[in-house]
Structure 1
Amino acid sequence: MTVFLVIIVIALFAVTLWQMSKIFDLSKGSDIDSSQVATDKDNKTHGMFMLLFVILLYVITIYCFWNYSKFYLPEAASEHGSHVDNLMFLSIAIIMFVQIITQGLLHWFAYKYQGRKGRKALFYADNDKLEFIWTIIPVIVLAGLIIYGLFTWSDIMNINEEEDPMIVEIYAYQFAWRARYSGEDNTLGGANVRFIEGVNQLGVDESDPYGEDDVVTTELHLPVGKPVLFKFRSQDVLHSAFFPHFRAQMNVVPGMITQFGFTPTITSEEMRSSEYMVDKVANINEIRKDNSKDLMQAGEAPLDSYEFEYYLLCNKICGQAHYNMQMKIVVESEEDYKAWLEKQQTFGEAMAAQKESQLEVSTETAEVAVVEKENN
C-alpha cells in the first residue's frame, strides 16, 4: 500500500511540473520567439554543453580509476590468474582507448559543426574506403581478443594429467559447501544423492572401494604449488563455485559433474602479510571499530576484529541464504597440509563409527526390551 501511495505522489508531482511549464509558456512576452526552431544562440549553447559534458565525463573517469583502484582484488593467488588479469586489463585498455577517441570526436564535432543560419549540412552518401576501414579495424581487434582469450581458456581448462593433480570434489547444497578429498589413491569414490543418509551427507557409494579413504571436510585446505583438479556436484539447484582470489569460477549443475583446475601460488599467510592486504585489513578494522561504538551505545556486542582468509563463494542467487554460502580456504605448505589431512576422519572410518553407534543403540534397545519383558 505504501509503495502504491508513493507512486501516486510521484505521478501527481510530475503532472504538477508539467502544468507549471505550461503556465510558464503562457506567461512569456510577445517578443519571445516561440517557433521552437533552434537559433544560432541555441546551437552554440548546446554545443558548449556537449563539450563541457565530455570534459566532465573524462574528469570523472580519471577520478574513478585513480580513487577506486584500491577496490581491485590483490594479485592473483593461482598460476593461471595472471593470464586472466592480463586479458581483463587488455580489454579495459582497448575499450577506454576507443571510448576516449569516439566520445571526444562526437562531442567536439557537436561543438565545432554546430548549426548556423545559412549553413547547409553536407550530404555524404557513402564511402567504401571509410566503411571498410571502420569495419575491418574492429574485426581485427575483436578477433585478436577472442583468439587470445581462447588460447588462455584452453591453457587453463586443459589439465595436464602428467602433473598428477590432486583430485578434490566440491559439493554444493543450500546453503553450504563440502569438500571431499580423494585420499591416498587420488581417486574419488562413486556418489549419488540417493545414498545420502546419516553421516553420508555427500551420498558416497559405500560399495565402491575407492571411497573408503575419501575425506569429507567443511574447510578446504590446499598445498601451495600443487595442481588441484576440482570436481563439482550440486545436490539441489544451480550454484556457482567462485574463487575470487584464484580467478576461478565454475557452475555447479545438478545431475552432472563439472570441473576446473588451478595451482595455488600464494599461501594464506603470505597473502595476509602482503602490503595490500595489511592496509585493507587495517581500513576494515577501523570501520568496524567506529561501527562497534554505535553498537555498544545501543547495548549490543561489538564487532569482532577482521582477519583475511581465502573463501569459496557462491556466485549464483540460489535462495534466501545465498549470501552466506561460503567455505574457508586455507593455502599452506605441503607439510602443514599433510599434517592437517592426517587428522581428518576418512569416509570408511565415519561409516564404521556410525554402524558401531547404531549397533550399540540396537543392543541397548534390545536389552531394555528384555528387562521390561522379564518385569512384566
Structure 2
Amino acid sequence: MTALFTIIIVLFVAVAIWQLVKIFDLAQLSTDTSNGGIATDYDNKINGQLMLWFLAFIYIITIICFVYWGDLPLMSNAASEHGAEVDNLMAISMILIFTVQIITQFLLHWFAFKYRGEKGKKALYYADNNTLEAIWTIIPVITLSGLIIYGLFTWTSIMNIDEDADPMVVELYAQQFNWTARYAGPDNVLGLANVRLIDIDRANVLGIDEADPNANDDIIVKELHLPVGQPVVFEIRSQDVLHSAYMPHFRAQMNCVPGMITKFAFTPTVTTKEMRENPDMIDKVRNINSIRAEKSKDLMAKGEEALEPYDFNYLLLCNKICGKSHYNMQMNIIVETQEEFDAWIKEQKTFKQSLK
C-alpha cells in the first residue's frame, strides 16, 4: 500500500511540473508573429462546434437520468397530511428550474457557436439596454418572490399546530449516536427534563425531573410507534451537539439544538403495513434485496455472515453530520392502527416504574 501511495504522489508531482512548464511557456513572448497568437477561423469554428456538442451532451445525460432515475420515489409516497403540499412545492420548483436551465443553456451554447470569431467580423460594442436589464431583473424577482411566498405559506400551514385536534405529545431525544422517544402518557404532558439531571445509576438517561408529577406516567422507548390519523407534536431535544430529526416519508425535519426545545407536528396517514404493500415500495425492496443477496455471496465466500433481507420501515434519521457514527443514527418508526398502538403502549413501562 505504501508503494502504491508513493507511485501516486510521484505521478501527481510529475503532472504538476508538466503543468508549470506549460504555464511558463505560455507566459513567454512568442517570436512567431505569423498570427500574433490569435485564434484562427478554424480554431473558432471547432470551439463553436464543441459548444454545440457539449449542449447535446447535457440534454442527453439529463434525459438518461430522468429515464433511469427520474421516478423520484420520495415524491410519490408521502405518509403525512402535509406531505402532498411539500411534494407540490418541490415539483413546481423543479419544473421551473429545468425550464430555465433548458432555455438558458441553449442560448449560452448556441450564441457561442453563432457569434464565434471570424476574419473580417467585428463585434458590436453594445453598452447597455435599460429595457433588457429591466426584463431579466424583474422576471427572476417575480418568479423567486412567488416561490418564496408560496413556500412561506406552505411552511406556515405545516407549523400551525391545531390544539383543538388534541395532538399526542412525544419527545425526540438526540445524542451521539442514537435516538430515544418519550411519550407524555395519559396526561399528555411531558415531565420537566434537563441534561444536568441525568442519572445513569437510576436509569434516568434523559435527565427527567423525578420531582415533577407529570413525569411519572411518561414512557421511554427506543422504537417510535404512531397511530395512523392521530396528530402528533414532537418536542425535540439534544444532549450534546447539533442534530437534525429527519423523517423523510413524513416530509418532516427539524434541528435538535442543545439547550433548547424545538417542535414539529404532523399527522401520519399511511400505516407501515400499507406502505409495504405500495407497488413502488415493493419494487424498491426487491431491488435492495437483490443487491444484498449479491453482497452476501461475497461475504459468505470470505467466511462471513450473510446480510439479512431488508424489510421496509419508516425511519427517524439524523440529517446533520454529528460525528463519526452519524450514518448509523436512526430509529424505526411504526405507524399502526389506534388499536394496535393502544395494545403496544400498554406493554411499556412508565418512567416511575423504570427507575431503579
Same fold (TM over 0.5): yes
Counterpart for residue 154 of structure 1: 156
Q: The residue matched to 2:348 in structure 1 has which SS?
A: coil
- From 313, 321, 326, the equivalent of 2:325 is 321
1:310, CA displacement in angstroms?
0.7
1:34, CA displacement in angstroms?
5.9
- When residues 193 and 21 of structure 1 are mapped into structure 2, their CA distance, relative to the original with a 3 A threshold, is closer
Trace 1:203-282 onto structure 2 (pairs within 5 A). 203-282=207-286
Q: Deviations over 1:307-360 (max 9, x none)?
A: 111110111111121111111100000110011001100112222xx2xxxxxx
1:11, CA displacement in angstroms?
2.0
1:195, CA displacement in angstroms?
1.7
- When residues 172 and 63 of structure 1 are mapped into structure 2, their CA distance, relative to the original with a 3 A threshold, is same
CA distance in 2, matches of 1:134, 1:281: 46
Q: The residue matched to 2:259 in structure 1 has which SS?
A: coil
1:158, CA displacement in angstroms?
1.2
CA distance in 1, matches of 2:306, 2:217: 43
- From 118, 123, 126, the equivalent of 1:124 is 126
Counterpart for residue 339 of structure 2: 335
- When residues 150 and 278 of structure 1 are mapped into structure 2, their CA distance, relative to the original with a 3 A threshold, is same
Using structure 1 for the length normalisation, give the TM-score: 0.87
CA distance in 1, matches of 2:211, 2:19: 76
Q: The residue matched to 2:102 in structure 1 has which SS?
A: helix
Q: Deviations over 1:169-206 (max 9, x none)?
A: 00111111110001111111111112211211111111
Partner amino acid, structure 1, of 2:152: L
Cα RMSD for the two superposed structures: 2.1
Using structure 2 for the length normalisation, give the TM-score: 0.92
Q: Is the 8 A contact 2:73 2:280 kept in 1?
A: no
- When residues 45 and 180 of structure 1 are mapped into structure 2, their CA distance, relative to the original with a 3 A threshold, is same
Q: Is the 8 A contact 2:243 2:322 kept in 1?
A: yes
Partner amino acid, structure 1, of 2:68: N
CA distance in 2, matches of 1:76, 1:266: 8
- Count of residue pairs the alignment pairs up: 346
Q: Is the 8 A contact 2:225 2:341 kept in 1?
A: yes
CA distance in 1, matches of 2:136, 2:328: 48
Counterpart for residue 63 of structure 1: 64
Larger radius of gyration: 1
Counterpart for residue 28 of structure 2: none
Q: Is the 8 A contact 2:52 2:110 kept in 1?
A: yes
Q: The residue matched to 2:233 in structure 1 has which SS?
A: strand
Partner amino acid, structure 2, of 1:84: V
1:15, CA displacement in angstroms?
2.5
CA distance in 1, matches of 2:221, 2:165: 25
Unaligned runs of 5+ in 1: 24-29, 355-376
CA distance in 2, matches of 1:34, 1:19: 23
1:17, CA displacement in angstroms?
6.6
Q: Is residue 96 of structure 2 the alignment partner of residue 105 of structure 1?
A: no
1:33, CA displacement in angstroms?
5.5
Partner amino acid, structure 2, of 1:150: L
Identity %: 58
Partner amino acid, structure 2, of 1:276: D
CA distance in 2, matches of 1:57, 1:192: 54
CA distance in 1, matches of 2:71, 2:103: 26
